[in-house]
Structures are given as C-alpha cells and as structure tokens.
A and B are shown apart, each in its own frame.
Chain A
Amino acid sequence: MLPFEQISAERLEFSYEDRKIFTDLTFSIGKNQSVLLLGPSGSGKSTLAFCLNRLYPEAVDGVLKGSISYEGQSLEAFKAGELNQKIGIVFQDPESQFCMLTVEEEVAFGLENFHIPREQMELKIDRALELVGLQNDKKTTIHTLSGGQKQKLALACVLALEPEVIILDEPTANLDPVSSSELVETIALIKNERPFTLIVIEHKLDDWVELIDTCLVLDSNGSLLFEGTPAQCFGEFASFLKKEGIWLPKVVEAALTAKIAGMYRGERLPLLKSELLAGLDYSFDFSKKISKTLAIKEPILEVKGIHARGHLKNINLTIHKGEQVALVGSNGAGKTTLSKCLAGLIPVTQGEIQFLGVPLSKWKEKDLFQKLGYVFQNPEHQFITDSVFEEIAFGLEHRASALSILEKIGLEKHANAHPFALSQGQKRRLSVATMLVHEQELLILDEPTFGQDANTAHEIMEILEEKSGAVMMITHDMELVDQYADTVHVLDAGELIFSGTPESLWENEEIVNRARLKLPFRKQLQDEFVRREIHVAT
C-alpha cells in the first residue's frame, strides 16, 4: 500500500497504573507522509507519539506491549537516545521544553547530545535558526521570547538534528491565532525545502488541513477508528467524529451544520472554503444571531484617561450594567495590564477609574471584590483551599448554599476532591464559579477559554450568559467575540484603537489588520461569498 514503510506499529497496547491508554493499534506510516493523529482528549494520542520515539515507556512506569519498528528495525534495537536524532518532537507547552538560558545554547544542547563535532555546531545552529526565522535572536534569552517564537525555537532545536520524522504534539495549543498560523506556514515551507515525515496531534485543524495527507483517528477507548485521507476522513465520517468529541475543521463543521439544515448540496463534506461556498445554497444566511440590546445603559465602570507603567496610554471606556464586553488585541498590547488596572490590582499613574460611581482608590478591598470578580488565566492560581467544596464555601455566609452552586456547575460529585486534582475543564468551571458566589456586578476574565476544549468553552459561556452582571473578557477567539459580545474594545501597543459592536469591527479592515486579528469564520465566508456574487454578476 505504501511506497516505503518508515514506521510500523503492530498490536500496540500501553497501560499505565493498571489503566489501558490504548489497545490493539496496528498502522504504518510511509516516508515523508504528513499524518494527522486525531482523537478525543484522553484517547492516548500523546502517549502514542511518545512511544514512537521510545520516550515511553521508560520515562513513566508504564507497560508497552506489541511492537514498533523504524525502517524495518525494532525500536528496542536502537541505543538509548539514538532514535531521538531520527525522530524529533515539539511539545505543547512553550514554557517547559527548554533547559538552557539562551537560544543558541538550547539548539547546541541537542547537537552536544549526539556528539556533533564542535566545529560543525555553529553552522548547524545558524542554519536551523534561519529555517524558522530566528537568526537574529541567536543570543537572546529564551525567557524573553514570545510563545510563538518559543515554539519556533523548539522546532529549530529539532531541525538542527536533521531528523527524518518530526512529531508535533499540539504545538499551537498555547499560541494566539495569528502566531499559530505563522507556525504552520513555517512548517509547510520547511517541509517543501527539506522533506521529512510529519506526525501532527492538533485540535485546531483549520491551518493544517492543506498540509495533511493522512488521518489516523483513535476513539475514546484508544482503539484505531480510521486510517485514510483527510477528504475521506472528514468528508464521510464528520458526524461520526463529532459524536466522538473530536474537533472538526471549521469548514467541515459549517458544512455539516448546513447539510443538516438541508442547505448544503455537495455529496461529500468539503475541506476548503471554496468547495464549501460552491456547495452552499443561496438562501444560506450568514448574518450573526442578533445580540440582546441593552434597554437602559447604566454605566457601572467608567475609565477616564488612565495611563499605567508605560504600558497604557490615555484609555477611556465605559462598561454598562449587564453588558458583555470583549477586550482583544495582539500579544503584548496591554490587555492583561488594562484588565488588572480595572480591578485595582495594578495602580494607574494618571486618570481615574470609577466603579459604581465611586473612584476605585476609595473602595475598601474587601468590599470591592464582593462586587467585582477577576478570573485569572490559570485557574489553579485562584484556588486557596484543599477541597472543591471549601473553594465555593470560602467567604460565603451560608456555607450550605455552596452545594447548590456545585450542582449548577456539575461538580457536586467532586466536592471533597482537591481542586488541583480536577480535570482542566473542571478547574476552569470551578474558578469561574468562585467568582460568581457574591453575584458580582462586574466579572473580568483573562482568556477563560484558552487551552480549553470546545465543550468546556461552551459551558463557561453558558454559565456567564446566565449571570446577571456585566462581563468583560480578554480573548483571542474571534468566534467567541462574534457570538457573545455586545461591545468589543481593541488595544494596540497600549492604546485603545476601537470600541464598538463586533459587526462594526469586522467591517473596519484597517483596525483588524493593525491589531493582528482574524475575522471570525462566519465573516470570512460571508466576504468570500459576496466576492463570488460580484464575480458572478459581472
């Protein structure tokens, strides 16, 4: 079937602490293929990837059964570390995959491990950094790089070893949309220049679809569900994948929705936007669902000309009772700084913030945080007790009412668990809930859906929709802005460059480009549709 089988796995089974992560996997991967490894969370995708270059089972106390061979040779026949030169891996978390202080030292680390002669190292480092576009950062301290640059560095470290296979384990999970697309572009370019086998594990599929030639799908029990081309995978099995909790590319998702509504004519679901548009019925409505209009505009937070620590310049904005506000902008634009100023966590150097008619500086901290909540990016930071129940009950007058709140967020069964031992999504829900117990008038959230799966993201938005007070959310997710926000504020380099409805933002091309935003998928489609209509008409 394949021209040359580079990696083949037979009846693989991995168990860890008496729990089977995956079972009975048999598949093979050909040289220079681009494979997308799909599966719901917990299906063992990462574990499988780590087994392929023999990091597992040694690194954890797990048991691997079955056999994997690389170019016809069993993995066990390779010396420790030997395989790592052939199969490189880029991990999800940009913060925890380096061990040196500067960029060049980090790339050199890998070369040193393989005893590359010193006189060759410099050249190899330069070449690898050039491939990913970091050649000007050779001496830079890794800590000062952005998330996207860190992931490019991780890729450079792998490329310097000239591997035959590169595994990417959710490399864009912690990046903003623009940086994600850039990373994918970089990878596509390099692959053109210097072929290698690519194995990608990813949730956000849109950027990858065109690069991929094979899909491997695992189900929630860790068995192989499907192996084949993306066209087949998404074209024929989309609804099935969706049921399994696997993310779909937005084009496929949209086509699926349209098809169910009887508005998509194509036989197979499309992979490309153009295919989608070609198959769509003309009656398809691209407009947004109408957002609730606020009858009475009663301001609760007024920001008048604030400056802060050189980050923020002359910010003016108002948040009204019950308003859903989004705060967007590229990394480093000052979103988090502004949000912390609004909560009184960072002092302003100039200007004034009034909350419920009283200057922020006049509020007693204890009273302020009964009326104003702040949800941090990492939910763990907010946990201060040993149990889920105590987290909610903390500061409540009627501790018993904590239980009903837990029921609301579906955590009543975990009341006695340690907050840290919850799953990512559960932690997120709990951290939002701790900020709702006092019925705060204003809740500020710093990227609440960041790194969450689709279900959790929706659950959080549902919790927030039910809430009576105003919500201000920092986010990179324009779909979220499009769907939920009444007002959106755009920050760029510490300045507020736009305030208005999402719809009016999407129309303002200049602002969208300046703040490095991506249009929501709905809008992208609509624009393309209009362009086509014009084309057809002329």
Chain B
Amino acid sequence: MLAKWKLREVIVLSVLAVVFAVVYLLFLQLGTVLFGLFGLIGYDMIFGIWFIVSIIAAYIIRKPGAAFLSETVAATVEVMLGNAVGPQLIISGMIQGLGAEAVFAATKWKNYSTWVLMAAGMGSSVFSFAWGFYVSGFAALSPGYVTAMFFVRLVSGALLAGLLGKYLSEGLAKTGALSSFPLGKEHKRNVTV
C-alpha cells in the first residue's frame, strides 16, 4: 500500500496524526468531564472528534489507505506519548480508520463530497461502536441506553469528524500550505477560475 506513497505524503500524514493525537488526548479529558455529567453517553457525544484525522488526511491526500493509516498512526502516537490507553488503542485506531476507509473505498477513492466525508465519519462510528461493544462490555447496559449511545455516536461521527474535518481542511487549504496536495490544488483552481 505504501509503495505508491511519496515520503512527503507519509510524513505529512504522520504530522497530521501527531497534531491530532494531542487533540485527541485533550478531548479525552473533556470526554471524561462529559462522562461525569451524562454517564457513558457523554463520551459518545464527542466521539466523532476521535475520527477526524481520518477524514482530514483522506480529504487532503486522497490516496487509498490515508484514512486507515492516519488513524492508526494517531493511535500509535497516543501510545508513544505515554498517557494513553495502551497498545490496544492501536487496534481501536485501526478499527476506526477501517470504518472511514471502507466508505472511501466504496467510492473507489474518487468521491470526496461533503456527504461522503460525513458517511466516512459515520463509518468510523459504526466500526468503533461494534468494537467498543465487545471490549468495553456495553452489554451490561440496558438495550435502550445502548441504542441511544449508538445513535449519538453516529451523529457525532457525521458532524465532528465529517463536517468539522471538511471545515478545517478547507481552512487549511486557504493558507496555501497544501499547495502540493490534491485538496490544495483543487482550492487553487477554484480561486483562479
């Protein structure tokens, strides 16, 4: 998969992952607060933020694997940072990344419209929820509550990962920093036309 990637793209992906690994850890604290206020579902409200790097990396780089790799690397960096959940987080990251990647794969990595980005965020929600169901033992909760958690997470994935990811990427394109990436080039064309 990596053979077709330029080193430049790999490192930019990795840097995106590093920045968002830090953001993720900050949100873990916010999540814990919401958790304290609303119980488990508090986490699901902001769960989408933890998929955002998939959306941003895929939207900027537009290569097969961008969503999966960025989320996996972000998780690895969280582990390397030392204050995260430990090596199994890498598996969570991979699964979340796969969720988004699956949606991009369904478009053959060609379509990066708003709807696809939101769907990719939701894809991560679905995959991560299934995994969380197994590892975190949601089965101990009442079915109604679990269903509510699922839908909250789905919406969060669409909004906080899909929409916010698109919004941030486009803000970034405006700065000219993405001039050598597909999104930056697209932006430039739109400005000059």
Does a CB–CB distance below 8 Å link A and B in the complex? yes
B177: interface (CB < 8 Å):
yes
B12 CB to nearest A CB, Å:
12
Whether B176 pairs with A421 at a CB distance below 8 angstroms is yes
A210: interface (CB < 8 Å):
no
Count the A residues whose beta carbon is within 8 Å of the partner chain — how many? 8
A528 CB to nearest B CB, Å:
47
B110: interface (CB < 8 Å):
no
Who on chain B is nearest to A386 by CB?
Answer: B174
User: Which residues of the partner chain B approach A59 to less than 8 Å between Cβ atoms?
Assistant: 6-8
Whether B180 pairs with A420 at a CB distance below 8 angstroms is no
A119 CB to nearest B CB, Å:
29
CA distance A420 to B178 in the complex (A): 11
**Contacting residue for B175 out of A58, A60, A61, A421, CB 8 A:** A421
A232 CB to nearest B CB, Å:
39
B171: interface (CB < 8 Å):
yes
A467: interface (CB < 8 Å):
no
Count A-B contacts at CB 8 Å.
Answer: 18
User: Which residues of the partner chain A approach B175 to less than 8 Å between Cβ atoms?
Assistant: 418, 420-421
Within 8 A of A (CB), among B74-105: none
Give a binary string over A256-276; 1 marks a CB under 8 Å from any B CB, 0 the rest.
000000000000000000000
Who on chain A is nearest to B177 by CB?
Answer: A420
Whether A420 pairs with B176 at a CB distance below 8 angstroms is yes
A395 CB to nearest B CB, Å:
21
B188 CB to nearest A CB, Å:
8
Whether B176 pairs with A60 at a CB distance below 8 angstroms is no
Give a binary string over A382-425; 1 marks a CB under 8 Å from any B CB, 0 the rest.
00001000000000000000000000000000000010110000
Whether A418 pairs with B174 at a CB distance below 8 angstroms is yes
CA distance A58 to B7 in the complex (A): 11
A469 CB to nearest B CB, Å:
31
Whether A418 pairs with B176 at a CB distance below 8 angstroms is yes
B178 CB to nearest A CB, Å:
11
**Contacting residue for A61 out of B174, B176, B180, CB 8 A:** B180
Whether B174 pairs with A60 at a CB distance below 8 angstroms is no
Listed residue (A58, A59, A60, A418) with the most chain B CB atoms within 10 angstroms of its CB: A418
CA distance A23 to B171 in the complex (A): 35
User: Which residues of the partner chain A approach B6 to less than 8 Å between Cβ atoms?
Assistant: 58-59
Who on chain A is nearest to B176 by CB?
Answer: A421
CA distance A424 to B152 in the complex (A): 45
User: Which residues of the partner chain A approach B171 to less than 8 Å between Cβ atoms?
Assistant: 386
User: Which residues of the partner chain A approach B7 to less than 8 Å between Cβ atoms?
Assistant: 59
CA distance A59 to B180 in the complex (A): 10
User: Which residues of the partner chain B approach A58 to less than 8 Å between Cβ atoms?
Assistant: 6
User: Which residues of the partner chain A approach B180 to less than 8 Å between Cβ atoms?
Assistant: 60-61
Give a binary string over A357-389; 1 marks a CB under 8 Å from any B CB, 0 the rest.
000000000000000000000000000001000
User: Which residues of the partner chain B approach A418 to less than 8 Å between Cβ atoms?
Assistant: 174-176
Give a binary string over B115-134; 1 marks a CB under 8 Å from any A CB, 0 the rest.
00000000000000000000
A293 CB to nearest B CB, Å:
45
A83 CB to nearest B CB, Å:
16
CA distance A421 to B177 in the complex (A): 8
Whether A421 pairs with B8 at a CB distance below 8 angstroms is no
Q: Helix, strand, loop or mixed for chain B's interface?
A: loop
Within 8 A of A (CB), among B161-193: 171, 174-177, 180
User: Which residues of the partner chain B approach A61 to less than 8 Å between Cβ atoms?
Assistant: 180
User: Which residues of the partner chain B approach A421 to less than 8 Å between Cβ atoms?
Assistant: 174-176
A384 CB to nearest B CB, Å:
12
Within 8 A of A (CB), among B112-156: none
CA distance A60 to B177 in the complex (A): 14
Who on chain A is nearest to B185 by CB?
Answer: A17
Who on chain A is nearest to B11 by CB?
Answer: A99
CA distance A58 to B9 in the complex (A): 13
Give a binary string over B16-41; 1 marks a CB under 8 Å from any A CB, 0 the rest.
00000000000000000000000000
Within 8 A of B (CB), among A59-86: 59-61
Give a binary string over A86-120; 1 marks a CB under 8 Å from any B CB, 0 the rest.
00000000000000000000000000000000000
CA distance A418 to B176 in the complex (A): 8
B173 CB to nearest A CB, Å:
9
Who on chain B is nearest to A418 by CB?
Answer: B174
Give a binary string over A235-254; 1 marks a CB under 8 Å from any B CB, 0 the rest.
00000000000000000000
CA distance A60 to B180 in the complex (A): 7
Give a binary string over A32-62; 1 marks a CB under 8 Å from any B CB, 0 the rest.
0000000000000000000000000011110
B17 CB to nearest A CB, Å:
15
CA distance A481 to B8 in the complex (A): 41
CA distance A194 to B176 in the complex (A): 43
CA distance A465 to B180 in the complex (A): 39
User: Which residues of the partner chain A approach B176 to less than 8 Å between Cβ atoms?
Assistant: 418, 420-421
CA distance A386 to B175 in the complex (A): 8
CA distance A58 to B6 in the complex (A): 9
User: Which residues of the partner chain A approach B8 to less than 8 Å between Cβ atoms?
Assistant: 59
CA distance A208 to B172 in the complex (A): 39
A386 CB to nearest B CB, Å:
6
Give a binary string over B34-70; 1 marks a CB under 8 Å from any A CB, 0 the rest.
0000000000000000000000000000000000000
Who on chain A is nearest to B8 by CB?
Answer: A59
User: Which residues of the partner chain A approach B177 to less than 8 Å between Cβ atoms?
Assistant: 420
CA distance A25 to B89 in the complex (A): 54
CA distance A506 to B84 in the complex (A): 55
Who on chain A is nearest to B180 by CB?
Answer: A60
B37 CB to nearest A CB, Å:
30
Within 8 A of B (CB), among A417-452: 418, 420-421
CA distance A418 to B179 in the complex (A): 13
CA distance A420 to B184 in the complex (A): 13
Listed residue (B6, B7, B175) with the most chain A CB atoms within 10 angstroms of its CB: B175
User: Which residues of the partner chain B approach A420 to less than 8 Å between Cβ atoms?
Assistant: 174-177
B120 CB to nearest A CB, Å:
26
A424 CB to nearest B CB, Å:
12
B24 CB to nearest A CB, Å:
22
B81 CB to nearest A CB, Å:
13
Can you list 12 contacts pairing A with B, beta carbon distance less than 8 Å?
A: A58-B6, A59-B6, A60-B180, A61-B180, A386-B171, A418-B174, A418-B175, A418-B176, A420-B174, A420-B177, A421-B175, A421-B176
- 9 pairs of A and B residues whose beta carbons are closest in the complex: A420-B175, A421-B176, A418-B174, A418-B175, A420-B176, A421-B175, A60-B180, A59-B8, A386-B174
- Which positions in B face A, CB cutoff 8 Å? 6-8, 171, 174-177, 180
- Given A59-B6, A420-B174, A420-B175, 15 more pairs with CB closer than 8 A: A58-B6, A59-B7, A59-B8, A60-B180, A61-B180, A386-B171, A386-B174, A418-B174, A418-B175, A418-B176, A420-B176, A420-B177, A421-B174, A421-B175, A421-B176
